[in-house]
Structure formats: structure tokens, C-alpha cells
Structure 1
Amino acid sequence: MVNDIVADLITRIRNANCVKAEGVLVLRTKLTVSIVKILKEEGFIDHLEEVDIPVKHQKVANKYLLLSLKYKGVKQKPYITALKRISKPGLRVYVSKSNIPKVLGGIGIAVISTSKGLMTDRKARIEGIGGEVLCYIW
């Protein structure tokens, strides 16, 4: 059982990028679906699909998301060069609307959990709301 779903998602994507895997399976929750949709909108992943995987001794199948990762060039360099978990279960990191971080001067994105749902740092600045900084992606 996974206690930190966001850290598990980030670790799976990071490990898949290291071995240049075409796809990666991540557990489907509302939070992971929201983060993956942001990754798709920002162009970090190609496409995603929902997959049901049956489990022994259980009647209900576990739901997973199959993410197709994007690579560029002949050398297959990944679009996602780094993922960093910021707010952790033991130490939450909150920012106000005036302190929203810019990742690499705007090249990367920060995923922020706000009262209006998950959004990127750019959108949170436009909306004028702060929240919990979940992770940085560049």
C-alpha cells in the first residue's frame, strides 16, 4: 500500500524516463488523474489511458493509468528532465498568491493544489490564489 501517492507517481515517471520506457503504469486516483492531465496539457506526456488489472483473490480489479512518455531526437532525450516533490506528508509547503514560485524562470511548472483544484503556477498567478506546492516539473 502506498502512503504518498504523489511521490509514487513522481518516482514511477522518473524511473521510466531513466530507462527510456515507452509507458508507465500509475495507480488511478483523483489526485493522480489531475496531475497527469496537467502533464498532458503542458506537453510532457503523449497520451494516457485507463487500464483495469485484476488482482488475485479479489473480485474488483485495480484501476491504473497507462502513461505514454514523450522523447525527442535520435538519442531519445525525455521531455521531462526532472521531477521534484516539494510538499511532503511530514512537511507541507504552502504559498500565498504573491509567493508562487517560478520553476527555472518559467521553463518548468509547479503543480499547486488550490481551493479551485490542481493547477500550474502560471494559472494560479492568473487566478490570484495560493495553495500547497505539490511538485516541480521541468
Structure 2
Amino acid sequence: MLTDPIADMLTRLRNANMALHDTAVMPHSRMKESLARVLEAEGYISGFEVNDRDLTVRLKYDSKRRRVLSGLTRASKPGRRVYVGKDDIPRVLGGMGI
């Protein structure tokens, strides 16, 4: 059992991205599916599929096979929660990050 499934998902995406794989496969959960939906809507991944108990994320690269997804980090973790007000959330990449 994983204690931090979101960190596991981000690690799988980072590793597959660094190895220039086309897809990353991970155990499915509704939370991971929601996160994949946001990443797809923001244009960081090509898409995703839910198969039985797995979530398959299709990674996105530009025409020269350069990575679109970079700098994935988790701000709030189970061992170190970060609470901020909406006005205190920093603008990432000049408002272009999520």
C-alpha cells in the first residue's frame, strides 16, 4: 500500500518522461484520474486511458522529441503539509504553470 499515491504518480511520470517513453502506466484511482484530466486540459500530456485497474498516461513531446512536461514537484506532502491562502499562492512561470 502506498502512503502517497500522488507522489508515486508524479515519480512515474517524471521517470517515463526522462526515458522518453510514450506512455506511463500506474495503478488507477479517481484522484490520479482527476490529476491526469487537469494535466491533459492544460496541455502537458496527450491523453490518458483507464484500463481495468491501471491508468495509462500518454506523454507529450514536441516535434523535435523534446519534453513538454518538466519540473513536476509536490508542494504539500503527508509528512509536511503546506497550507496557504489563495492570495499567497505564488504565480508559477509567470502564470503559465499550474
* Structure 1 segments of 4+ aligned residues over 4 angstroms from their partners: none
Unpaired segments of 5 or more residues in structure 2?
none
Give me the whole-angstrom Cα distance separating, in 1, the residues matched to 2:59 and 2:40: 10
Q: Partner of 2:57 in structure 1?
A: 67
Paired positions, count: 98
Using the size of structure 2 for normalisation, the TM-score is 0.93
Q: Partner of 1:112 in structure 2?
A: none
Computed over aligned residues only, the root mean square deviation of the Cα atoms, in angstroms, reads 1.0
Deviation at 1:102, TM superposition (A): 1.1
Deviation at 1:107, TM superposition (A): 2.2
Which structure has the larger Rg over C-alpha atoms?
A: 1
Using the size of structure 1 for normalisation, the TM-score is 0.68
Identity of aligned residues (%): 41
Higher strand share: 1
Q: Partner of 1:87 in structure 2?
A: 76
Higher helix share: 2
What do the CA deviations read for 1:74-106 (whole angstroms, capped 9, x no partner)? 2x1111011011101011111112112211221
Unpaired segments of 5 or more residues in structure 1?
53-62, 110-138
